[in-house]
Amino acid sequence: MPTLVLFVIGLIALVLGAELLVRGASRLALSLGISPLVVGLTIVAIGTSSPEVAVSVGAAIDGQTDIAVGNVVGSNIFNILLILGVSALIIPLLVNAQIVRQEVPIMIGASLLLLTFGLDGRIGRLEAGALLALLVAYVVFLIVQSRREQQNAALAAAVAGTAPSADTGKRNLPLQLLLIAAGLGLLVLGSSWLVDASTELARAIGVSDLVIGLTIVAAGTSMPEVATSVMAAIRKERDIAIGNVVGSNIFNILGCLGLAGVVSSSGLPLAPSVLNFDLWVMLAVAFACLPVFLTGRTIARWEGAVFIFYYVAYVAYLILAAQEHDALGAFSGAMLGFVVPITVVTLVVSVSRPAVVRRE
C-alpha cells in the first residue's frame, strides 16, 4: 500500500476512534460513579498509550532501545506542548483542581524518578519493575479516591432529596464498553499505520533511530492522544482532554518504560544525548504545567500557542543537532538568551495576576 494512502487511512481511523472513545468514556463515567477526570486519567490515558506500549516493548525486545526510550520521552514532550497547545487553541481549557494539586506533582515525581534511575546511563530491570509497581498503586488509588468522592456526593444528594437514578446508565453499560473498545481498536490501528508510513519516509532520508523515536514515532504513537484530546475539547469534555494528556504521561513513564525495561534482557541503556538533554526537556515541560495551570486554573489560547511554539523549537533543535548544522549555535543562543527568559517573565506575571484578583 502506498505510504501516502496508508497515512490518510490512519488519520481517518484516528478521528473515528477518538469520537467513539470520548463518547463511550464520558458515558461510562456517569454509569460507574467515576468522575470524567479519573476516566481520562485511567481508561482513556492507558488506552491511548497502548501504541507507545506496543512500540517501546517491541523495540526493547528487538534491541532497538533508542527507539524504545526516545518514543516515551518524545511522546511526553509532544503530549504537553503540542496536544494541550492545540486543544487550548480550540477552546480554553479549565483545569480541574485535582490536576494541579495531585496529578501534575505525580507526573513531575515520575519524571524525576526516571531521571534519577537513569543517572548511571541505564534503566535496570529492577528499576523498571519498581516503575510498574508504582503504576498499579497509582491506578488503584485513583479509582478508590474517585468512588469515595462520588459516594459522598451521592449521600449528600440523597440527604437533600435530589439523588439521581443510576439505572439508565447501568442498562447502557455494554454499549459504552463497546464504544470504548471500538474506539481504542481504531486508535491503535490508525496510529500504527501512521507510524509505519512516517518511519519509512524518515529512514529513506537517513534520520537516526533516536531522532525517529523522539519525533516521528513519538508523534505517531501520540496520535490517539491528539485525536482524543482534540475531540474532547470540541465536545467540551475538558476533564477528559487534560486528564488524558497528564495520565498518558504518567503511564508512559511508569508503564511503557517499566514494561519495556522488564522484557529487555539487559534493561534500557540511555543514550548520552537523552540523558544530557531530552530527559531534562521532558522534566522542564512537566514543571512548566504548574505555572500555566495555576493562571486562573485555565490554559488560555495564548498559553496554548506558546506550548506549540516550544514544540516546534524543540523539533528544530533536534533536526539541526542531527545534521550538525552551522545555525545550531545561533538558534540555541536565541532561545536561551531571549525567548525562554521572556516566557518565564510572562508566566510569572500571569501567575501573580489571578492571585491579586482572588485576594480582592
Q: How far apart are CA 280 and CA 73, in angstroms?
A: 10
Helix H or strand E segment including 348: helix 340-359
Looking at the structure of the chain, the number of domains it has is: 1
Strand bridging mode 122-123 / 268-269: antiparallel
Per-residue pLDDT tens digits for 326-350: 776 776 666 666 556 666 655 555 5
The 8-class DSSP code of residue 299 comes to E
Q: Mean pLDDT for the chain?
A: 77
Yes or no: say if 298 and 94 are a contact pair by the CB < 8 Å rule: yes
Per-residue pLDDT tens digits for 276-323: 888 888 888 888 887 777 766 778 888 888 889 888 888 888 777 776
| Stretch 212-224: mean pLDDT | 71
Per-residue pLDDT tens digits for 247-272: 889 999 999 899 989 988 778 888 88
Considering 21-35, 42-56, 193-207, 230-244, the range whose residues carry the highest mean pLDDT is: 230-244
Q: The domain that contains 308 carries what CATH number?
A: 1.20.1420.30
Domain span at 82: 3-359
List C-alpha distances in Å: 61 to 50, 127, 262, 276: 16, 17, 10, 25
The set of cell numbers assigned to 198 is 512516517
The larger pLDDT score, comparing residue 204 to residue 102, is at 102
Q: SS3 for 184-223, per residue?
A: HHHHHHHHHHHHHHHHHHHHHCCCCHHHHHHHHHHHHHCH
The larger pLDDT score, comparing residue 156 to residue 20, is at 20
Q: Is 242 helix (H, G, I), strand (E, B) or coil?
A: helix
State pTM to two decimals: 0.77
Per-residue pLDDT tens digits for 301-310: 888 888 898 8
The residue length of the chain stands at 360
Q: Is 94 helix (H, G, I), strand (E, B) or coil?
A: strand
Per-residue pLDDT tens digits for 59-86: 788 777 787 888 888 889 888 888 888 8
Judged on CB neighbours under 10 Å (0-12, 13-18, 19+), 356 is exposed
